Amino acid sequence: MTTKAPKPETIEKLRHVSVATLCTALFKRGLRHQVVQDVHPVKAKGINMVGPAFTLRYIPAREDRNQLSEFRNPDHPQRKAIETCPPGFVLVMDSRKDARMASAGDILITRLMMRGGAGVVTDGGFRDAMRIGDLGMPAYHHRPASPTNLTNNEAIEINGPIGCGDAPVFPGDIVVGDDDSVIIIPAHLADEIAEEATEMTAYEDFVVEQVQSGETIIGLYPPTDERNLEKFAVWRKANNR
Amino acid sequence: MTTKAPKPETIEKLRHVSVATLCTALFKRGLRHQVVQDVHPVKAKGINMVGPAFTLRYIPAREDRNQLSEFRNPDHPQRKAIETCPPGFVLVMDSRKDARMASAGDILITRLMMRGGAGVVTDGGFRDAMRIGDLGMPAYHHRPASPTNLTNNEAIEINGPIGCGDAPVFPGDIVVGDDDSVIIIPAHLADEIAEEATEMTAYEDFVVEQVQSGETIIGLYPPTDERNLEKFAVWRKANNR
Amino acid sequence: MTTKAPKPETIEKLRHVSVATLCTALFKRGLRHQVVQDVHPVKAKGINMVGPAFTLRYIPAREDRNQLSEFRNPDHPQRKAIETCPPGFVLVMDSRKDARMASAGDILITRLMMRGGAGVVTDGGFRDAMRIGDLGMPAYHHRPASPTNLTNNEAIEINGPIGCGDAPVFPGDIVVGDDDSVIIIPAHLADEIAEEATEMTAYEDFVVEQVQSGETIIGLYPPTDERNLEKFAVWRKANNR
Amino acid sequence: MTTKAPKPETIEKLRHVSVATLCTALFKRGLRHQVVQDVHPVKAKGINMVGPAFTLRYIPAREDRNQLSEFRNPDHPQRKAIETCPPGFVLVMDSRKDARMASAGDILITRLMMRGGAGVVTDGGFRDAMRIGDLGMPAYHHRPASPTNLTNNEAIEINGPIGCGDAPVFPGDIVVGDDDSVIIIPAHLADEIAEEATEMTAYEDFVVEQVQSGETIIGLYPPTDERNLEKFAVWRKANNR
Amino acid sequence: MTTKAPKPETIEKLRHVSVATLCTALFKRGLRHQVVQDVHPVKAKGINMVGPAFTLRYIPAREDRNQLSEFRNPDHPQRKAIETCPPGFVLVMDSRKDARMASAGDILITRLMMRGGAGVVTDGGFRDAMRIGDLGMPAYHHRPASPTNLTNNEAIEINGPIGCGDAPVFPGDIVVGDDDSVIIIPAHLADEIAEEATEMTAYEDFVVEQVQSGETIIGLYPPTDERNLEKFAVWRKANNR
Amino acid sequence: MTTKAPKPETIEKLRHVSVATLCTALFKRGLRHQVVQDVHPVKAKGINMVGPAFTLRYIPAREDRNQLSEFRNPDHPQRKAIETCPPGFVLVMDSRKDARMASAGDILITRLMMRGGAGVVTDGGFRDAMRIGDLGMPAYHHRPASPTNLTNNEAIEINGPIGCGDAPVFPGDIVVGDDDSVIIIPAHLADEIAEEATEMTAYEDFVVEQVQSGETIIGLYPPTDERNLEKFAVWRKANNR
Render pLDDT for F67-118 as a digit per residue (tens, 0 to 9). Answer: 999 999 999 999 999 999 999 999 999 999 999 999 999 999 999 999 999 9
- Say if CB D6 and CB D174 are below 8 A apart: yes
Average predicted confidence (pLDDT) for chain D: 97
Asked if the C-beta of C123 comes within 8 angstroms of chain A's C-beta atoms, the answer is no
Q: What is the per-residue pLDDT across E124-169, written as a single tens digit (0 to 9) for each?
A: 999 999 999 999 999 999 999 999 999 999 999 999 999 999 999 9
- Say if CB C58 and CB C219 are below 8 A apart: no
Taking the CA of residue A175 and the nearest CA in chain C, the distance in Å comes to: 25
| DSSP states along chain D | -PPPPPPHHHHHHHTTS-HHHHHHHHHHTT----B-TT-EESS--SS-EEEEEEEEEEEPPPGGG-SGGGGG-TT-HHHHHHHHSPTT-EEEEE-TT-TTSEEE-HHHHHHHHHTT--EEEESSEETTHHHHTTSSS-EEESS---S-GGGT-EEEEESS-EEETTEEE-TTPEEEE-SS-EEEE-GGGHHHHHHHHHHHHHHHHHHHHHHHTT--STTTSS--SHHHHHHHHHHHHHHT-
Total length of chain B: 241
- Neighbouring CB atoms inside 10 A of B19's CB total 26
Conformational region of residue E82, where left means phi above 0, alpha means psi within -120 to 50, and beta covers everything else: alpha
Residue C157 β-bridge partners: C57
* B contact test, residue of C146, C151, C152 with most B CBs within 10 A: C146
Q: What is the per-residue pLDDT across C208-234, written as a single tens digit (0 to 9) for each?
A: 999 999 999 999 999 999 999 999 999
Taking the CA of residue D106 and the nearest CA in chain B, the distance in Å comes to: 26
pLDDT at E3: 58
Contact D27 F144 (CB under 8 A): no
pLDDT confidence band for F1 (50 / 70 / 90):
very low
Q: What is the per-residue pLDDT across D151-196, written as a single tens digit (0 to 9) for each?
A: 999 999 999 999 999 999 999 999 999 999 999 999 999 999 999 9
pLDDT at D5: 82
Instruction: Show the DSSP H helices in E15-64 as ranges.
Output: 19-28
Q: Which of D147, D131, D108 is nearest to E23 (CA)?
A: D147
Asked if the C-beta of D3 comes within 8 angstroms of chain E's C-beta atoms, the answer is no
Taking the CA of residue E85 and the nearest CA in chain F, the distance in Å comes to: 13
- Say if CB E141 and CB E95 are below 8 A apart: no
Question: How far is it, in rounded angstroms, from Cα C204 to Cα C215?
Answer: 13
- Say if CB B23 and CB B185 are below 8 A apart: no
pLDDT of E2 > 60? The answer is no
3-state secondary structure of E178: coil
Contact D60 B96 (CB under 8 A): no
pLDDT confidence band for C1 (50 / 70 / 90):
very low
Average predicted confidence (pLDDT) for chain A: 97
Chains D and C touch (3+ CB pairs under 8 A): no
Taking the CA of residue E93 and the nearest CA in chain C, the distance in Å comes to: 13
pLDDT of A114 > 70? The answer is yes
Q: What is the per-residue pLDDT across B140-193, written as a single tens digit (0 to 9) for each?
A: 999 999 999 999 999 999 999 999 999 999 999 999 999 999 999 999 999 999
Q: Which of residues 81-110 of A touch C (CB under 8 A)?
A: 82-83, 99-100, 102, 105-108, 110
CA–chain centroid gap for B233, Å, is: 32
Question: How far is it, in rounded angstroms, from Cα C137 to Cα C110?
Answer: 8
Please report the beta strands in chain C, taking only residues with DSSP state E, as ranges in sequence order: 35-36, 40-41, 49-59, 90-94, 102-104, 119-122, 125-126, 139-141, 154-158, 162-164, 167-169, 174-177, 182-185
Conformational region of residue D191, where left means phi above 0, alpha means psi within -120 to 50, and beta covers everything else: alpha
Averaged pLDDT for residues A92-101: 98
Question: How far is it, in rounded angstroms, from Cα A206 to Cα A220?
Answer: 10
Q: Which of B96, B179, B194 is nearest to B145 (CA)?
A: B96
**B27 Cβ contact partners less than 8 Å away, ≥ 6 residues apart:** C68, C147, C148, C150, C151
Asked if the C-beta of A32 comes within 8 angstroms of chain F's C-beta atoms, the answer is yes
- Neighbouring CB atoms inside 10 A of D219's CB total 15
Which among D24, D38, D211 is the nearest to F148, CB-wise?
Answer: D24
Subunits close to C (at least 3 CB pairs below 8 A)? A, B, E
Average predicted confidence (pLDDT) for chain E: 97
Q: What is the per-residue pLDDT across B48-99, written as a single tens digit (0 to 9) for each?
A: 999 999 999 999 999 999 999 999 999 999 999 999 999 999 999 999 999 9
Question: How far is it, in rounded angstroms, from Cα B167 to Cα D152?
Answer: 10
- Neighbouring CB atoms inside 10 A of E61's CB total 24
Q: Which of E13, E16, E19, E14 is nearest to E41 (CA)?
A: E19
Question: How far is it, in rounded angstroms, from Cα C37 to Cα E226?
Answer: 58
Q: Which of residues 162-181 of B touch D (CB under 8 A)?
A: 162-163, 166-169
Pairing of strands C182-185, C35-36: antiparallel
Enumerate helices (H) and strands (E) in chain C, giving the number of each.
Answer: 7, 13
Taking the CA of residue C68 and the nearest CA in chain A, the distance in Å comes to: 36
Contact B110 A208 (CB under 8 A): yes
Contact E167 C33 (CB under 8 A): no
**C167 Cβ contact partners less than 8 Å away, ≥ 6 residues apart:** C33, C34, C35, C36, C37, C183, C184, E60
Chains A and C touch (3+ CB pairs under 8 A): yes
Proportion of chain F in helix, strand, coil states, percent, rounded to 5: 35, 20, 40
Subunits close to B (at least 3 CB pairs below 8 A)? A, C, D
Percent of chain A with pLDDT over 70: 98
Contact D27 F130 (CB under 8 A): no
pLDDT at A5: 82
* The one-letter amino acid at F201: T
- Neighbouring CB atoms inside 10 A of C227's CB total 10
3-state secondary structure of C200: helix
**D128 Cβ contact partners less than 8 Å away, ≥ 6 residues apart:** D105, D106, D107, E18, E20, E180
Q: Which residues of chain A lie closer than 8 angstroms to F156, CB-CB? A: 161
Q: Which of D68, D156, D62 is nearest to E224 (CA)?
A: D68
Q: What is the per-residue pLDDT across A152-187, written as a single tens digit (0 to 9) for each?
A: 999 999 999 999 999 999 999 999 999 999 999 999
Q: Which residues of chain A lie closer than 8 angstroms to C211, CB-CB? A: 107, 110-111, 114
Averaged pLDDT for residues C34-44: 98
Q: What is the per-residue pLDDT across F73-82, written as a single tens digit (0 to 9) for each?
A: 999 999 999 9
Asked if the C-beta of A44 comes within 8 angstroms of chain C's C-beta atoms, the answer is no
H/E stretch holding E159 reads none
CA–chain centroid gap for F221, Å, is: 27
Asked if the C-beta of F67 comes within 8 angstroms of chain A's C-beta atoms, the answer is no
Q: What is the per-residue pLDDT across E74-129, written as a single tens digit (0 to 9) for each?
A: 999 999 999 999 999 999 999 999 999 999 999 999 999 999 999 999 999 999 99
Question: How far is it, in rounded angstroms, from Cα F67 to Cα C63?
Answer: 54
pLDDT of F3 > 70? The answer is no
Which among E59, E61, E168 is the nearest to C154, CB-wise?
Answer: E168
Question: How far is it, in rounded angstroms, from Cα E103 to Cα C76?
Answer: 31
Q: Which of D43, D7, D226 is nearest to D136 (CA)?
A: D43
Percent of chain A with pLDDT over 90: 97
- Say if CB F54 and CB F85 are below 8 A apart: yes
